[in-house]
Amino acid sequence: MAKIGIDLGTTNSLAVIYKEGKSERILNSLGSYITPSAVSIDDDGQILIGEAAKDRLISHPDNSASEFKRNMGLRTTVVLAGTSYTPEELSSLILKKIKADCEAYLGEPVEEAIISVPAYFDDNSRRATRIAADLSGLKVERLINEPSAAALAYLNKNGYKDGTYLVIDFGGGTLDVSVVDVFDNIIEILAVSGNNRLGGKDFNEAIVQDFCTKNGLDHEKLSSAEKAVVYRAAERAKIELSEIPMVMMEVPLDKKKYMLTLTNQELISISRPIFEGIRDPVRKAIHDSRKTLEGIDSIILVGGSCKMPTVREFIRQITGLEPVPSVNPDTAIAEGAAIYAAMKNKDLKDVVLTDICPFTLGIAVNNDILKDGSMMMSSIIPRNSTLPSSITKPYNAASNNQVRVKLHVYQGENIHPEKNLYLGSIEMDCPPTRLNSKICDVKMTYDINGILIVDAITTDGNVVTKAFRSNSNVLSSEEIEKMRSKMEASILVSPEDEKYRVLIARAERVYEESFAEQRMLITNFLMVFRANLERRDPIKVKESYKQLSDLLDKLEY
């Protein structure tokens, strides 16, 4: 039974299997390695995943969704075709599609996977990722941090050369930075930093705002379809700037053509906050690793946004180092996840990967400095501690003759506990204890699967042990079962039908982006194609498929 690695991305997702000493990227039903992380509900209620869903973001914006990874672990919903979906449910549909494609490609069942997550995902987001996998029918014992996966992919390709590496993973929706040390086939993650809400999509936003400003358009007054057209044009301009120095955006809106000329220099100018958002996590990761820039041997860049010349140049400027070009930024994370699956399966016995706790774990204690009754965060397991980690700290009584202990457990870096992620509490009786005398020990153990065990031990030897996950957004077993039933009833478009639906979605998207004379052509060819599909005439379907496809190629390029 196959075990795969999956990069469940904000913009795109893909799967890789590691076998016979090398990574093999798995093709989806359309013959591509990449599946866009988009979901759309078609008119007949069937669910489209990937390319067709991405195109329908423009033609059917109210029935389509993307970028839901940014909300993993939050109690948010998206309404598609009258039905509400959580980020976990939408992500499970992506994983369900990937699972089906992998089984068709490999010719065997796929029940287990290693899924990559941003290193800075908190407990809520990681738990949501596991729920999404469970809803899709995949068993996931381990998650791997995305920069750790990228480092594995690079080192596997380059012979696990000893050294210290700075890994920057800048994707569509998240930024992760890690410092990785390699010695004698032991890969040690020294520090991580990042921003879960900074990615390539923010460049799209900056271009859209600049486009609207220079064309005198009120972004808020654009319809959903018009916004989708502008955003796609902005994304296309951003991608083209990776190859050429200047691009021209031409966008048809309400029978008018709006234009914007954009260069990489202008992109830098309108995106300064984004670049500053890259600088800070890089500085923090290097600082927390107790290394200096001079101690970094190589920079590894992964994620689609790292293909942008402006991003690569900015990273070169702030580090003084030229990034190494030896990994594919689009596939490295999935390859690393597949390698990690092979390590877990004992197929790679000579390589060891250590990971770290990305956030501080601790409890709330009385603020002895302010004396105002407020609480402060007491760190027990500091961020960037190597996993598994187990640390014990003593605590004193907060009042005279105290006979009860209540521990509030948090995850986060803020000195004010209420601004961190609340994980839960432990309550227990204890012998009467004088103010400021030792009342208990608190032992925290955090394992490689992200499970936190807290032991509270009073001075008379009484022990209370509890496993913690975040209580702030935990779904009940009833809620999860309801979601599972809903997902099992969801019908994905069959692989045989998919390529036709992809072409129709593409035609409808190009129609939205075109002027009147072009729209008439698209409508005529699309009507013929639909009619042939209904008649189920294979020769006519093939013929009209090619005619419509050729027309769209001409109109787009």
pLDDT at residue 304, rounded to an integer: 87
Q: What pLDDT shows up at residue 473?
A: 57
Q: Do both 167 and 259 map to the same domain?
A: yes
Instruction: Confirm whether 273 is domain-assigned.
Output: yes
Residue 102 and residue 499 in contact, taking contact as beta carbons nearer than 8 Å: no
Question: Could you read off the pLDDT of 51-93 as tens digits, one per residue?
Answer: 999 999 999 999 999 999 989 988 899 999 999 999 999 999 9
- Strands 143-145, 110-117: pairing kind: parallel
pLDDT at 516: 81
**Maximum CA pair distance of the chain?**
89
Q: Are residues 281 and 383 located together in one domain of the fold?
A: no
- Total tally of structural domains belonging to the chain: 3
The reply to whether 193 and 274 lie within a common domain is yes
Structural domain includes residue 108: no
Tell me, yes or no, whether 194 and 298 share the same domain.
yes
Last residue of a domain, one of 326, 342, 366: 326
Beta carbons of 252 and 515 less than 8 angstroms apart: yes
Q: Are residues 318 and 203 in the same domain?
A: yes
Say which amino acid occupies 513: E
Backbone dihedral region of 109: left (phi > 0), alpha (psi from -120 to 50 degrees) or beta?
A: beta
- Please name the amino acid found at residue 79: V
User: In terms of domains, do 183 and 294 share one?
Assistant: yes
Q: Is residue 417 part of a domain?
A: yes
**Within this chain, do residues 432 and 321 fall inside the same structural domain, yes or no?**
no
In a domain, 114, yes or no: no
State pTM to two decimals: 0.87
The set of residues, in sequence order, having a beta carbon less than 8 Å from that of 181 and lying 6+ positions away, is 163, 164, 165, 187, 188, 190
Q: Is 505 among the domain residues?
A: yes
Residues of the chain predicted below pLDDT 50: none
| 390 and 307 both lie in a single domain | no
Spell out the residues 6+ positions from residue 77 whose beta carbon is closer than 8 angstroms to its own. 84, 85, 86
For residue 147, cis peptide bond before it (omega within 30 degrees of 0): no
Phi-psi label, residue 433: left if phi above 0, alpha if psi -120 to 50, beta otherwise: beta
pLDDT of residue 17: 95
Task: Identify whether 42 is part of a domain.
Answer: no
Residue 543: domain span: 495-556
Claim to verify: residue 276 and residue 390 sit in the same structural domain: no
| Domain boundary, last residue among 307, 326, 345 | 326
| DSSP single-letter state for residue 72 | T
The enclosing domain of 396 has a CATH number of 2.60.34.10
Q: Does residue 476 sit in helix, strand or coil?
A: coil
Residue 367 and residue 317 in one domain: no
297 and 237 within one domain = yes
Q: What pLDDT score does 482 carry? A: 84
Over residues 367-386, the pLDDT tens digits come to 655 566 678 999 999 998 99
* 261 and 319 co-located in one domain: yes
Q: Give whole-number Cα distances, 258 to 215, 229, 509, 526, in Å.
A: 7, 12, 18, 27
Which of 304, 326, 348 is the last residue in one of the domains? 326
Residue 56 burial by CB count (10 A; 0-12/13-18/19+): exposed, middle or buried?
A: buried
Domain presence at residue 307? yes
Amino acid at position 527, single letter: M
CATH number of domain containing 240? 3.30.420.40
- A 10 A CB-CB count for 180 gives 28
What span, in angstroms and rounded, lies between the C-alpha atoms of 6 and 341? 10
| 408-457 tens-digit pLDDT | 999 999 999 999 989 989 999 999 999 999 999 999 999 887 789 999 99
> What pLDDT score does 347 carry?
66
User: Is 30 a member of any domain?
Assistant: no
